[in-house]
Amino acid sequence: MSTENRAQTEADLIVRRYSVSGRVQGVGFRWFVHREAAALGLRGWVRNTPSGTVELVAAGSLADLAKLRMALEQGSRGSRVDRVEENALAASEADTLGVFTIEGAW
């Protein structure tokens, strides 16, 4: 990929923060999110929160983020997704994101 194309790709990144509530902790949901996000080539992270939700930040194309949102709404085997909240973040947030990771995993 040329430097110009790479710059264009970086500039086109969209960043979203998601909060997923339901039965999403202790059921492999973070691993599910990691697998889905990595398969889409997204950058970002996922983690459990003290309130019982799963929070994630993902950067990628609008189409790939829409696919991730659909996966989040469906959930993993054993999970129950009651709600997915989505908020846009500044594109500059993508600068701090690397390969998609699970935070707080052993």
Q: Which of 23, 30, 35, 69 is catalytic?
A: 30
Which residues, 6 or more positions from 58, have their beta carbon under 8 angstroms from its beta carbon? Answer: 15, 16, 18, 37, 42, 43, 44, 65, 68, 100
Annotated catalytic, 48?
yes
Q: Which of 16, 47, 48, 77 is catalytic?
A: 48
If you ran DSSP here, which 8-state letter would residue 99 be given? B
Instruction: Give catalytic residues, as residue numbers.
Output: 30, 48
